[in-house]
């Protein structure tokens, strides 16, 4: 996979809807909310569209987040890190960083990105998007199968570290579905005179290859 780091700064002003305190994880996103610290990480479906929508002034903020857990070679896996905090240092600044650890289907380390800034200054009044945005592009030689991504977020002022684990698959869009063999005691069905070609499983492709 090749690394792509996107440098945007976003300041969001909105009320935070607090979830039940603690860490809540699913396949495509994780949420942590405790003691005034709110963190959310999501594997977004289309990074380019997501970032463009985030930058737009809107009456509904943050924008709707579409996620995904299946990718093709050439796609970019982009974990969007969102946050809100009111704990500041003596200079009135927040200090939150995050790291990404990708593992191949065989469990070996594929890529590690460390100490990326989520926020290193005055935080927004509502939900903010991380200052450093990082994604990994899936190369043509990358193996198919299930990958894992561990996102580690550290609030340096609170001395709190939160880990979120995600699983995603790199699939072959041209793979044929596996056929289920008939039961052992059943009689084989007669062959069709004009068999229909098996359908292929095609996922929606990722159009932004610049990330």
**Of the candidates 71, 44, 68, 54, which has an alpha carbon nearest to the alpha carbon of residue 13?**
54
| Paired tokens of 135 | 């994604």
Report the alpha-carbon distance of residue 75 to residue 14 in Å, rounded: 31
> Which of the four CATH numbers 2.60.40.3880, 2.40.50.100, 3.40.50.2300, 3.40.50.1820 does domain 2-170 have?
2.60.40.3880
Domain extents in the chain: 2-170
Phi/psi at 54 (nearest 5 deg)? -65, -35
User: In terms of DSSP H, where are the helices of 17-80?
Assistant: 47-55
Residuewise pLDDT in 10s, the chain (211 residues): 554 443 332 322 233 334 457 778 776 789 999 999 999 999 999 999 999 989 887 655 677 889 999 999 999 999 999 999 999 999 999 999 999 999 999 999 999 999 999 999 999 988 999 999 999 999 999 999 999 999 999 999 999 999 999 999 999 988 876 666 666 665 656 655 544 444 333 333 333 444 4
* Per-residue model confidence (pLDDT) at position 122: 95
pLDDT of residue 195: 46
Q: CB of 16 within 8 A of CB of 37?
A: no
pLDDT score recorded for residue 29: 84
Helix, strand, coil in percent for the chain, rounding step 5: 5, 40, 55
Tell me which residue has tokens 């001395």: 159
Distance CA 126, CA 4 (A): 27
pLDDT for position 42: 94
Nearest to 77 by CA among 177, 149, 161, 183: 149
pLDDT of residue 177: 66
């Amino acid at each position: 996979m090749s690394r792509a780091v996107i440098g945007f700064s976003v300041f969001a002003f909105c009320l935070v809807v607090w979830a039940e305190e603690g860490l809540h994880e699913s396949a495509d996103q994780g949420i942590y909310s405790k003691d005034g610290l709110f963190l959310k990480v999501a594997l977004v479906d289309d990074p380019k569209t997501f970032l463009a929508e985030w930058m737009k002034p809107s009456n509904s903020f943050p924008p709707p987040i579409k996620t995904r857990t299946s990718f093709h070679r050439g796609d970019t896996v982009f974990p969007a890190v969102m946050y809100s905090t009111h704990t500041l240092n003596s200079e009135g600044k927040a200090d939150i960083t995050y790291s990404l650890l990708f593992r191949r289907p065989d469990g070996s380390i594929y890529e590690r990105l460390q100490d990326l800034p989520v926020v290193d200054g005055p935080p927004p009044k509502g939900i903010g998007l991380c200052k450093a945005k990082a994604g990994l592009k899936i190369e043509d030689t990358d193996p198919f199968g299930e990958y894992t991504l561990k996102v580690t977020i550290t609030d340096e002022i609170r001395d709190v570290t939160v880990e979120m684990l995600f699983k995603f698959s790199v699939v072959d869009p041209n793979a044929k579905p596996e056929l289920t063999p008939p039961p052992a005691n059943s009689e084989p069905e007669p062959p069709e005179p004009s068999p229909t070609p098996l359908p292929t499983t095609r996922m929606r492709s990722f159009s932004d290859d610049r990330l």
